[in-house]
Amino acid sequence: MSQRAGAELSPLQLAMACASHRGFPVQVALVRSSLEDAGLDEDALGCPPDWPLGEKAARMVLSRGASGPRRIWNNCSGKHAGFLRACVGSGWPVETYLDPGHPLQAQIVEFMAEAGGYPVVPVGVDGCGAPVLRTTVRAMARLFSRLATDPDMSEVFTAMHRYPALVAANGHGDTEMAIVTDSAAKGGAQGCVGVAIAGRYGLAVKSWDGLGQVAHLAAASALEQLGALSPTARHALEPIIHPPVLGGGLPVGRLEPRFDLESA
C-alpha cells in the first residue's frame, strides 16, 4: 500500500516496512535510511519509544550505554517509516499520519477490505499507535493468498522472501519458514502468523492462548500436511514443529502438533 502511495522504498527498506523487527543494528539502520531518504528523522515516527524486541539486540544497546527507549527501536518503526515515506511521496501531511481519517489510512482501509473481501471496520488502535483493522483467521489467509498470487503484490512478496531475517530475525518461526520454502511469512501479536506460498495459497494461524511459538508450530505443521516441505525443509523446521520443553534448564519434553487438516 505504501509503495502504491508513492513511498518508493528500496527492496531492503520495503522488507523493513513489512517487519516486526528485533532492533538489530542493520534493521535500525535501514529504518533510519527510509526516513533520511524522505528528509525526515526519528522524531517524525509516531510509534511509542521502546527497547529492541530482540533480547540480544536489547543487551547490545544497553552495553553501549543506552539510557532509555527510543522510537526507532520499536518493532514497528519500519512500518511507520513506510507510512511516512508514502505521505511525503503523495504530498500528504506527516504530522497526522496515524489519524484514521488521514488519506493514507483511508486508502489502507479501502485496500484491505477489497483484498480480504470482508468489512474491516471498526478500526481500533494498535500497540504501535497505528490504526488496526478487524479481521478473522479466514480473512488473514485470504490476504496472504493475495500476497502469494497477485502480480501487483509481487514486489512485496519478493522483498519479504528475499530478506526474511529483516522481517523478524534468524531463529524465529516466520523467518525460518520463509527461508526453507518459497514463501513470505510474518508473525503478529497475540499468536498470529501468516504464510504466503508463491503462486499457490495463503495460510493463517491464530493461537488461542496468544503464544507465538504455538502459532508457528501449527503453521509449519500445516505446511507439512499440505506437502509444501521438502525433506530438507522439514528437517530444518524440526525445532519449530517440535520445540523443546525445558525443566531446570534442560529438555524434559517437546511440544507436539495434534491436528489434521480437513478439506472445506
Q: Mapping DSSP to helix (H, G, I), strand (E, B) and coil, where does residue 202 land?
A: strand
Would you kindly state where each structural domain of the chain is located, as residue ranges?
Answer: 1-134, 136-264
For residue 262, name the pLDDT band (cuts at 50, 70, 90). confident
pLDDT band at 6 (very low <50, low <70, confident <90, very high): confident
- CA neighbor of 92 nearest in space, from 214, 189, 171, 2: 2
- Grid cell digits, residue 158: 519478493
What is the structure's pLDDT at 217? Answer: 96
> For the range 252-258, what are the long-range contacts, defined as Cβ-Cβ under 8 Å and sequence gap of 24 or more?
255/213, 255/214, 255/217, 257/217, 257/218, 257/221
pLDDT tens-digit series, residues 106-116: 999 999 999 98
Looking at residue 1, its pLDDT comes to 47
Least confidently predicted of 72-76, 84-88, 118-122, 134-138: 118-122
What is the rounded average pLDDT of the residues 3-25? Answer: 90
Per DSSP bridges, beta strands 183-188 and 192-197 are: antiparallel
Model pTM score: 0.93
What average pLDDT does range 211-227 have in this prediction? 95
Contact partners, residue 188, CB within 8 Å, separation at least 6: 20, 194
Give the DSSP letter string of 104-115.
HHHHHHHHHHHH
Residue 263 has pLDDT above 80, yes or no: no
**Which amino acid, one-letter code, is at 223?**
L
> Is residue 122 very low, low, confident or very high in pLDDT (cuts 50, 70, 90)?
confident
